[in-house]
Amino acid sequence: MSCCAPGAEMALDLDRVTTVLPSSQEIRLASRSLGDDLRQTDLSVPAVHCAACIQAIETALGKLEHVEGARVNLSTKRVSVRWRGDEVPPFVAALGRLGYEVHLFDPDIGEKDKTLSELIRAVAVAGFAAGNIMLLSVSVWSGAEGATRDLFHWVSALIAIPALAFAGGIFFRSAWNALRHGRMNMDVPIAVGVSLAYAMSLYETINHGDHAYFDAAVSLLFFLLIGRTLDHVMRERARTAVNGLSRLAARGAMVLRDDGARDYLPVGEIEPGMQLLIAAGERIPVDGTIIRGSSDLDCSLVSGESTPRTVVSGAFVQAGILNLTGPLTIEATAAAKDSFLAEMVRLMEAAEGGRAHYRRIADRVSALYAPVVHLTAFVTFLGWMAATGDWHRAITIAIAVLIITCPCALGLAVPIVQVVAARRLFENGVMVKDGSAMERLAAIDTAVFDKTGTLTLGQPRLINASSIDPVMLAIAADMAAHSRHPFSKAIAGFAGFSGQPKLETVSEHPGFGIEATAAGSTWRLGRRGWAGWKARTGGEGRYGGTVLSKNGMIVASFVFEDALRADARTAIGQLNEAQVSVEMLSGDTAAACREVAETLTVDHFVPALLPSGKVERVEALAKAGHKVLMVGDGLNDTPALGAAHVSIAPATAADIGRNAADFVFLRESLLAIPLALDVSRKAGRLIRQNIAIAIIYNTVAVPIAILGHVTPLIAAIAMSASSLLVIANALRLQGFVRDAPARIAPYDRRSGIGDWAQMS
């Protein structure tokens, strides 16, 4: 896949007519202080989209006076610049000299993907033109001569003009932008080859020549645009992770003024010291301390703890926590930009910035492509000029060299396999979100699992229903239907027994449970000690902390467990067989983690971790030389998902977790993970085979073209044949096992290739 210059995307933004650069005053106002006279400015650079862009930007900004450092986030297309002093460094001008358009970064702006729309239209135009020109070329190949042949050539020339102007403009603008800023990219040989092929064909048509190569020029564009569109789609899917945090956060809150008045303020206007009213069912917008009220809080997205936490006055709460059962009044202790969610954003961006430095196989292979092709074609032209003095023959052979070395096979080598592999995974309930994800997944040697919501379903399940009196269970279910507490939801599903008394009044006591009256009796469902203090027979009070009482006497006790995902133990066993070690990280208690680890035979686990602790563990494994797969579902897992070499989340995960992950599996079974690993390793093998095919093709075809035995038309046919061969090889992936694999090909660290026997 070609690594385009920034002009490729910049040129596609046709709706932007003028560009207003931010002034120094605007930049200073938009910057935030980091302390110690250090400031940070976040800039939006829409044209950054490859490893070469990252290196060029960070190097250029790092050379500026007073600039401490710069980091490019490829997912959000943002550049964070840290600088000192009273005068704003000229980093906008520096990026402008490199050909990058710069704006102040605004996380609230969501723009339509104009680049994708333009690419799709370009593919359609190029495909339509190529098909029609090929039909005319078949007539010429069949023996059309004289005026008929010239007519077909002229019609082909006319059809090719809009294709080259619109579809080819993507490559021409990118090539020109790179050249005028003193750089080279893979679009330069494409633009040169297409232009020369059209010019030579037009010259042949005007002079009634036998051969024209309009079909070669337009077909070239069609194949290249397909590869570029697939690559763009894969890359764009990775950009929504940080944006998902803004959707998770509360938009505002009800503020209680000193005079008793109530105002709804946007979250950005909430300041420390303000009193906020949080109703049951609302998320807490900023970090704060409870000053009135008690409730149960769902902290699973923040801490990973599966059991709801009971809080009372004086407890500290964090932004993003869901208030379940009772109204709370909290005093804000931090502004939104300093809250827990803001810290999550910073952790996520740091993790994504690290992953952005990963260079895909196609980028690595194609790094030397442009200079080698240009040099080869130019030397060929000079050699034939020196040997024959015939400029027409020399330039025709040089054009044939440019066309026959076109990166179609190389450009399709990666995306075509990814598309076939992504389809195979989708058929088995796994969605691929990032184009480089399968390459990274194939290389893992360590898998790190979150517990709640990942190894388990994150939903409490009543496991002793069969031992509870059906009448008591039905009464508890009717009471539980009035609460949002997770334990209540687990009990409420057992309603329907016809013999229980009808409830007259029901009230919920946040942090304690539910109280109801029926037939003159008082019933309580909730925590032991509040609901009841003695058992009717002694047996009802043996288990757990949730009980049902009648007039203070315990009549039923409820035991819950967080059910494991289907086939979790089998999936972990298959990962171990594939030479992948497994660890479990969780924000839950040590006892809960130990029970799950023993059930699933997971040797290593770390409990009671904060989000930053999970990131630190993942980074520690990476520093030790491991390639880490992170599997998690909650908000607290999001930074670790981004920091890992590759990541997977279940479809039941929070929006931000799904957005941050490279893969999402849609079914409850964890067998999706070894399946994704198996397909990725096989896909990696096919990608390397395809690149080998492209290299062998060029090794054989280029010398023949240099010796003058290939016309541009034959070069185009050979180029198309190599592309078809690459596609046919990629389609072999469809013949692989459709369901979860019994055995996964081990990963060869030296070659990055799985066992060949597993692929045949």
For Cα atoms 506, 507, 512, give the angle at the middle one, nearest 5 degrees.
125
Q: How far apart are CA 49 and CA 6, in angstroms?
A: 7
Residues with Cβ < 8 Å from 399, sequence gap 6 or more? Answer: 193, 196, 197, 200, 213, 377, 712, 715
Are the beta carbons of 352 and 313 closer than 8 angstroms? Answer: no
Catalytically annotated residue among 42, 363, 450, 637: 450
Enter the tokens of residue 750: 């030296």
- 259 counts as catalytic: no
Q: How far apart are CA 609 and CA 588, in angstroms?
A: 8
* 526, amino acid identity: G
- For the sheet containing 604-606, what is the strand order? 430-432, 663-665, 646-650, 628-631, 446-450, 581-585, 604-606
Burial of 380 (0-12, 13-18, 19+ CB in 10 A): buried
Residues with Cβ < 8 Å from 117, sequence gap 6 or more? Answer: none
C-beta atoms surrounding 530 within 10 Å: 15
Q: How far apart are CA 49 and CA 52, in angstroms?
A: 8
Q: How many CA atoms lie within 13 A of 304 on its CB side?
A: 32
Q: How far apart are CA 351 and CA 309, in angstroms?
A: 29
Q: Which residues are 554's β-sheet partners?
A: 535, 549
Q: How far apart are CA 727 and CA 715, in angstroms?
A: 18
Q: Which of 610, 632, 636, 585 is nearest to 245 (CA)?
A: 636
Locus of tokens 């697939």: 230
Q: Rg (Cα) of the chain, in Å, rounded?
A: 32
User: Which whole-number Å values give the CA distances from 308 to 178, 303, 315, 476, 511, in the listed order?
Assistant: 56, 11, 14, 19, 9
Q: Which helix (H) or strand (E) holds 654?
A: none
Q: How far apart are CA 385 and CA 389, in angstroms?
A: 4
Q: Which of 471, 472, 470, 475 is nearest to 517 (CA)?
A: 475
Pairing of strands 38-44, 32-35: antiparallel
Enter the tokens of residue 451: 């517990």
Known catalytic residues are: 450
